[in-house]
A and B are shown apart, each in its own frame.
Chain A
Amino acid sequence: MRERVQTVVWFQAAGCTGCSISLMNAAYPSIINLLLDEVVPGEKIVLRFHATLMGPTGQPALTVLERIPAEKAGDYVLVVEGAIPAGGFGAVGEIPMEERFRTLTDGATAVIAMGTCASYGGIPAAFPNPTAAKGVANSLSTVGVGVPVVNVPGCPPHPRWFVETLTHLLLYGPPRPEELDAVGRLKVVYPSLIHENCPRRADFDVGRFAKGFGEIGCLYELGCKGPYTEANCPYHQWNSGVNWCIKAGHPCIGCCEPEFPDFPAPLFRKANAQEAISSFRRAK
């Protein structure tokens, strides 16, 4: 089979490296497939820049980053991890992250916003947003850059969500508008509410609610955000399927929603009906 090679640049801004570490838990393809051979047979990626894994350091590493937009113009996918903070709060190689990020988008065919911070601002953009941090699409729209952006939110995203999105780009190109939902994610990757497929749903239906941690029952009263969160966690579970938040007795905290972590209700307080409606922005 003929092999195609896709250059990928992974840029970290105001984040915590959790998205990178999560991707290292990918199963099929595994991180070894992603790094060393093929994502899907016939499609290889070359990770030209990833600060957590790459060999070079300092100026030699920076040179790789700085040459990409010209050398590989129109031929690389940019992955952004972390939000984009305002000028003085974050720098890479003594140049503000905001500026580095804009330069990198110039030659990219598409941008994958990896994680809730890159997608919507996430943790650093939580109230009162001390660093005026923005998600990728928001940051680009203010300067009118037209490169396609696909969001892969989650704190962190399940490795599978990234692999599905990358595979879409490699095999089918940038998604068409109808393939994305209202908040810029591939619909097939974020298909339905956690609540709709929750293994504790039967408890909810009969009104059996846990009142404290470690108790049996639906976690709604403990503040579960499953009813407002679209993700396929109940299907795939986490870490090779060994567990996930709700199975572990912890309410969903809605980590892949644009409002995370500033829901109208605190993470552990049950939302009242009004808050629930206003928080669920796509008002189904």
Chain B
Amino acid sequence: MRTVTIDPITRIEGHLRVEIKVEDGEIVRARSSGALFRGIEIILLGRYPLDAQRITTRICGVCPLAHATASSFSLDMALGIAEKIPENGRLLRNLIFGAHFLHNHILHFYHLALPDFVDPRGSPLEGLLAPGGEVHDRRFSPEENRKLLSHYVEALNMRQKAHELVALFGGKMPHDMSIVPGGVTYRPTPGDVAAYRFRLQELKLFIENAYVPDVLLLAQRYRDYFQMGRVGTLLSYGGFPEEAGRGLDKRLLPAGFYRNGKAEPLDIQEVREGVDRSWYEGEEAHPLLGETRPAPDKEEAYSWVKAPRYRGEPCEVGPAARMVLVLIRGAPSVKFRVQDFLREAGVEPEALSSAMGRHLARAVETVILLEALEHWLSQLDPSGPVAVPFKIPEVAEGEGLAEAPRGGVGHWIRIESGRIARYQVISPTTWNASPRDGRGEPGPLEKALEGTKVSGDGLLEAGRIVRSFDPCLACAVQ
């Protein structure tokens, strides 16, 4: 038996350390640790409630929209205006956040994940991607390899265009500005709508002609990775409201909990966050009652990530969870998309929650969102209001649930004397990269790694599995 520590895990967001124990060519135990704590939940205490969505946006520079959206949802509820968001406000929030998914999924596939599979040697990318001149288990033909490397470079431009798409209505990226409680701050002009439509068209061409075929090619060459990194217990808060208000059922991507082939509606009261193996003091609690008390010297702990559980179960969140729930609870138009995709890749729905399935799920989600963005754009009314006025109450509570590119993100706020009295965030990677809980149950990432057959020290397989989750540690630990 040997223990391999992978730290830093590169080509993800933030500081993740993974330790694997390898015995007879198999990972028998895995531990994932978040290696950085900033304390943003503590920093928010005592501030004016509206500062929350600007400060929480800065939890993450890769997916600031996730926090802008969840924070604004939680404040919409606390301020009693969740049902009053003007139609333009709802559409613009979707258009801003949805465009960000295009950015995220393109960046993740080409720049974070693909370097694990292509051979950059002899190309201008060798210095960055294989400085030691060493690569393993490369399966593409020289021609495929050349094409993928050229798409890596083209994707640098494409993700930049996707950021322009976000900024057109969102102000700027990273750290978008215009999503606020009550709606958005920006009134788009017809010229902005044209500019948005134009870029969306350019991205659509790239997504249809490069991204989707490239993902399917990868899936074909690395079919064994559909059997690796499986989790199977899945959760989604539901993404992109199709109606103003907080009904999780009226969302484009449905909410729910999935296990053993069955999906059930989500009961958010069943979420608990524990800290048994995390560097904090405190008891397991629902996030509205949760707290953040760092204890860097806590003996039995090994991570800054807390351990959220749903009815006591660790759950995978993210594109695989969303697409599985779309298959069961989604509207026919989106459901057919996923079915087509699975047929083309030649895999069953259960394979989505795997190292390769997550790439597939991201690709089909990107296609679904392209269509949704076009639809939302066509519904905009440039002369209508974009935000609703509000007053900050003395005492209130709010809950904001959204789906970020990496999975469900939740913000919970309590306002007392007009100030933030409590603020808790559970981000997608808090779910996915959580450590063991009080019952000894491993987090989803740990579970995905354990039992994996590896060649050599396991660095290659572990890296591919970890990256399939698109981890974001700045989100996981705020």
* A150-164 Cβ-contact flags toward B at 8 Å (1 or 0): 000001100000000
Measured in the bound complex, the distance between the Cα atoms of B128 and A50 in whole Å is: 9
Assess A123 versus B55: contact at CB under 8 Å? Given A213-B387, A249-B185. yes
Given A18-B174, A21-B61, A53 and B128 touching (CB < 8 A)?
yes
A250-B38 CB under 8 A given contacts A16-B58, A22-B61: no
- Which residues on B sit within 8 Å (CB–CB) of A240? 160, 164
Is B111 interfacial (CB-CB < 8 Å)? yes
Interface segment out of the listed B165-173, B243-251, B258-266:
B165-173
A47 to B131, CA, bound (A): 10
CA distance A59 to B4 in the complex (A): 9
In whole angstroms, what is the CA distance A243 to B297 when docked?
A: 46
**A3–chain B nearest beta-carbon distance, Å:** 14
Selected from B15, B184, B459, the residue in CB contact (under 8 A) with A92 is B15
Enumerate chain A residues within 8 angstroms of B434, measured Cβ to Cβ: none
In B7-44, the 8 Å CB interface with A consists of 7-15, 17, 35-40, 42-43
Question: Does B389 sit at the interface, judged by CB under 8 A?
Answer: yes
- Set of chain A residues within 8 Å of B11, measured between Cβ atoms: 51-55, 57
**Interface presence of A15 (CB below 8 A):** yes
CB distance from B151 to the nearest CB of A (A): 13
Are B195 and A242 in contact, with the CB atoms below 8 A? yes
Is the beta-carbon distance between B17 and A130 smaller than 8 angstroms? no
Chain B residues with CB below 8 A from A92, complex form: 7-8, 15, 35
**Most interface-central of B37, B171, B173 (chain A CB within 10 A):** B171
Q: State which of A13, A20, A55, A253 has its C-beta within 8 Å of the C-beta of B61.
A: A20
Option from A46, A214, A248 in Cβ contact (under 8 Å) with B171: A248
Residues of chain A contacted by B42 (CB below 8 angstroms): 128, 130
Which residue on chain B has the smallest CB distance to residue A239? B167
A144 to B388, CA, bound (A): 53
Beta-carbon contact of A58 and B459 below 8 Å: yes
* Contact (Cβ within 8 A) B17 A18: no
Q: Is the CB of B37 within 8 A of A238?
A: no
With A46-B127, A213-B183 already in contact, the answer to whether A56 and B132 are too (CB < 8 A) is yes
Please give, as numbers and ranges, the residues of chain B lying within 8 Å of A146 by CB-CB distance.
Answer: none
Q: Which of A185-193, A197-205, A265-273, A274-282 contacts B (4 or more CB under 8 A)?
A: A265-273
Instruction: Digitize B184-195: 1 where CB-to-A-CB distance is under 8 Å, 0 elsewhere.
Output: 111100000001
Most chain B Cβ neighbours within 10 Å, of A18, A123, A212: A18
CA distance A89 to B54 in the complex (A): 23
Contact B8–A248 (Cβ < 8 Å) = no
**Neighbouring A residues of B230 by C-beta, 8 Å:** none
Instruction: Choose one: A16, A85, A239, A249; the contact of B173 (CB below 8 Å).
Output: A239
A20 to B14, CA, bound (A): 11
Q: Tell me how far the C-beta of B445 lies from the nearest C-beta in chain A, rounded to whole angstroms.
A: 15
Encoded as 1 (CB less than 8 Å from any A CB) or 0, chain B from 99 to 129 comes to: 0000000000001100100001000110111
- A14 with B170, Cβ < 8 A, contacts A53-B111, A55-B128 known: no
Verify if A102 is at the interface (C-beta below 8 Å from B).
Answer: no
B169 / chain A contacts, CB cutoff of 8 Å: 243, 248
When distances are taken between beta carbons in the complex, the residues of chain B under 8 Å from A24 are: 156, 159-160
Which of A30-38, A71-79, A103-111, A175-183 lies at the interface with chain B? A30-38
A63 and B402 CA atoms in complex are apart in Å by 39
A166 contacts B by Cβ under 8 Å? no
- CB-CB nearest in chain B for A35: B128
Report whether B386 and A214 are in contact in the complex, using a CB–CB cutoff of 8 Å: yes
Asked if B145 is at the interface (CB within 8 A of a chain A CB), the reply is: no
Chain A residues, CB < 8 A from B385: 214
A242 touches B58 (CB 8 A): no
CB distance from A32 to the nearest CB of B (A): 6
Which residues of A sit under 8 angstroms from B278, Cβ to Cβ? none
* B312 neighbours in A (Cβ, 8 Å): none
Instruction: Please give, as numbers and ranges, the residues of chain A lying within 8 Å of B160 by CB-CB distance.
Output: 24-25, 30-31, 239-240
The answer to the question of B360 belonging to the interface, with a C-beta cut-off of 8 Å to chain A, is no
Stretch at the interface among B45-53, B202-210, B212-220, B351-359: B45-53
Q: Which of the residues B5, B38, B40 comes within 8 Å of A85, measured between beta carbons?
A: B38
Interface band, chain A? 35 or more
Chain B residue numbers with a CB within 8 Å of A248 are 169-172, 177-178, 185-186
Closest to B180 in A: A213
For A97, give the chain B residue with the smallest CB separation. Answer: B36
A14-B36, A18-B58, A249-B178 known; A93-B185 Cβ under 8 A: no
**Does A61 interact with chain B (Cβ within 8 Å)?**
yes
- Judge whether B175 is part of the interface by a CB distance below 8 angstroms: yes
Which listed residue, B39, B184, B386, touches A130 by the CB 8 Å rule? B39
Q: Given A57-B459, A123-B38, A248-B185, verify A239-B177 contact (CB < 8 Å).
A: no
Cβ contacts under 8 Å, A22 to chain B = 61, 173-174
| Residues A88 and B297 in contact, CB atoms below 8 Å apart | yes
Give the contacts of A227-280 with B (CB-CB under 8 A): 238-240, 242-245, 247-250, 253, 255, 261, 266-269
Complex Cα gap A124–B43 (Å): 8
Complex: A47 Cα to B58 Cα, angstroms: 25
Measured between beta carbons, the chain B residues less than 8 angstroms from A261 are 51, 54-55
Chain A nearest CB, measured from B407 CB (Å): 18
A40 is an interface residue with CB less than 8 A from chain B: no
Give the residues in chain A near B157, CB-CB below 8 Å. 30, 32
A208: interface (CB < 8 Å): no
Chain A residues with CB under 8 A of B382: none
Q: Are B132 and A239 in contact (CB under 8 A)?
A: no
Q: Pick the residue among B17, B125, B185 that contacts A94 (CB under 8 A).
A: B17
* B182 on interface, CB distance cutoff 8 Å: yes
**Inter-chain contact B124/A36, CB cutoff 8 Å:** yes
Whether B364 is near chain A, meaning CB under 8 Å from some CB there, is no
B153 interfacial by beta-carbon distance below 8 Å: yes
CA distance A281 to B35 in the complex (A): 35
CA distance in complex: A12, B50 (Å) = 29
B463 contacts A249, CB within 8 Å? no
> Across the interface, do A89 and B13 meet the contact criterion of CB distance under 8 Å?
no
Chain A residue nearest to B61 in the complex (CB): A18
- The reply to whether A93 and B8 form a contact with Cβ atoms under 8 Å apart is yes
Q: Is the CB of A94 within 8 A of B7?
A: yes
The answer to whether the Cβ of B474 comes within 8 Å of any Cβ in the partner chain is yes
Are the CB atoms of B167 and A238 closer together than 8 Å?
yes
**Could you pull out 29 A-B pairs where Cβ atoms are within 8 angstroms?**
A15-B61, A21-B61, A32-B157, A46-B127, A51-B10, A51-B11, A52-B11, A57-B10, A57-B459, A58-B4, A58-B459, A61-B8, A64-B131, A90-B37, A92-B7, A92-B15, A97-B36, A123-B38, A130-B42, A131-B38, A155-B175, A212-B387, A240-B164, A244-B172, A249-B178, A250-B180, A261-B51, A266-B51, A268-B50
Which 3 interchain pairs have the tightest Cβ spacing? Answer: A18-B61, A130-B39, A248-B171
User: What is B's interface to A at a CB cutoff of 8 Å?
Assistant: 4-15, 17, 35-40, 42-43, 47-48, 50-51, 54-55, 58-62, 64, 111-112, 115, 120, 124-125, 127-132, 153, 156-157, 159-160, 163-164, 166-175, 177-178, 180, 182-187, 195, 294, 296-297, 385-387, 389, 459, 463, 474
